[in-house]
Amino acid sequence: MIRVQSDRFDAGAETEALGAGDIRAGCVATFIGRVRGDDGLLAMTLEHYPAMTEKVMEEIEREVRARWPLLDVRIVHRIGRLAAGEAIVFAGVAAAHRQDAFAAAHYVMDQVKTRAPFWKKEHRASGDRWVEAAKADDAAAMGWEAKRK
Amino acid sequence: VVRIRYFAALREAAGCGEEELGLPASVLTGHELVRWLARERPELAPALASPSLRIALDREVASFAAPLKGVREIALFPPMTGG
């Protein structure tokens, strides 16, 4: 399940929902990304490409399910203006075994960072600026391709 | 007529998120589109010259060498920074 929303999400409820009612789901791994308030950062605005965002996130869900034996996947990404400390993204998976769950949650985040069409603008007292993509993020996302071979 | 969409810094440079443009017959690929747009919309030229510029054709990330024939929506944007 994927969702894009401007409202806050309830990480506890999202986590509870993962694999709920499926007794095979021996573990759940989750990741929450928050707005990091360093260097005087006050807030961020997240812009996205409607329709393409959902399409790419659904692709990522299909890929991660094909790659690891998962029982459930939930990816929630927020858009709009978010203050420092607010949650931006939730990625969670349920699986029978923790190795699969940890790896799958890691994969989802590496792919969302570099492939889902979101752009962040940082707001500071000194002004606004667009975040530049980190080369390390591209390398992390590409690293999964190398592991497949 | 094709719909061109701009995101992030490109949207700000363009002053709009999208526009409908009639492309000249000589514009067959993303490379040619970028060259043509930079002349048509000089305010976009610096952003279009960025080596990290990305293109999506009908909501699928594509190569600038890919043909535009039959494409209804073209998006231009910087590298994604979600998550």
Per-residue pLDDT of A41-51, as tens digits, reads: 999 999 999 99
Alpha-carbon gap, residue B37 to A84, rounded angstroms? 37
Is B16 near chain A, with CB under 8 Å?
no
> Which residue does chain B place closest to A33, by CA atoms?
B83
Alpha-carbon gap, residue B50 to A133, rounded angstroms? 13
Are residues B56 and A49, on separate chains, in Cβ contact within 8 Å? yes
Q: Residue A22's pLDDT is what? A: 97
Are residues A112 and B56, on separate chains, in Cβ contact within 8 Å? no
Are the C-beta atoms of A78 and A6 separated by less than 8 Å? yes
Task: Compute the average pLDDT of residues B31-57.
Answer: 96
- Kindly state the tokens that stand for B32: 């040619």
Above pLDDT 90, what percent of chain A?
Answer: 90
Q: List, as one string, the DSSP characters of A91-125.
A: EEEEESSHHHHHHHHHHHHHHHHHHS-EEEEEEET
Sole residue written with tokens 């190398």: A146
**pLDDT of A73 over the 70 cut:** yes
Least reliable range by pLDDT among A12-26, A127-141, B19-33: A127-141
Residues of A in contact with B9 (CB under 8 A): 130
Least reliable range by pLDDT among A11-20, A25-34, A47-56, A139-148: A139-148
> Which residue does chain B place closest to A49, by CA atoms?
B7
Are residues A132 and B79, on separate chains, in Cβ contact within 8 Å? yes
**pLDDT of A142 over the 90 cut:** no
Q: Residue A134's pLDDT is what? A: 87
Compare CB distances from A33 to B52, B78, B83 and report the shortest one's residue.
B83
Above pLDDT 70, what percent of chain A?
Answer: 99
Residues of A in contact with B78 (CB under 8 A): 119, 130, 132-133
Nearest CA to CA, how far is B9 from chain A (Å)?
7
Is A136 near chain B, with CB under 8 Å?
no
Task: Compute the average pLDDT of residues A37-62.
Answer: 97
Compare CB distances from B81 to A55, A77, A131 and report the shortest one's residue.
A131
Is A45 near chain B, with CB under 8 Å?
no
Per-residue pLDDT of A5-26, as tens digits, reads: 999 999 999 999 999 999 999 9
**pLDDT of A149 over the 80 cut:** no
A47-50 long-range contacts, CB within 8 A, separation 24+: A47/A79, A47/A118, A47/A119, A47/A120, A47/A121, A47/B7, A47/B8, A47/B11, A48/A4, A48/A77, A48/A79, A48/A116, A48/A117, A48/A118, A48/A119, A48/B82, A49/A117, A49/B5, A49/B7, A49/B56, A49/B59, A49/B75, A49/B77, A50/A4
Task: Compute the average pLDDT of residues B30-41.
Answer: 97
> Which residue does chain A place closest to B83, by CA atoms?
A113
Q: Residue B20's pLDDT is what? A: 97
Is A130 near chain B, with CB under 8 Å?
yes
* Chains A–B, number of C-beta pairs less than 8 Å apart: 72
Nearest residue to A80 (alpha-carbon basis) of A129, A125, A131, A46: A46
Are residues B75 and A55, on separate chains, in Cβ contact within 8 Å? no
Task: Compute the average pLDDT of residues B21-39.
Answer: 97
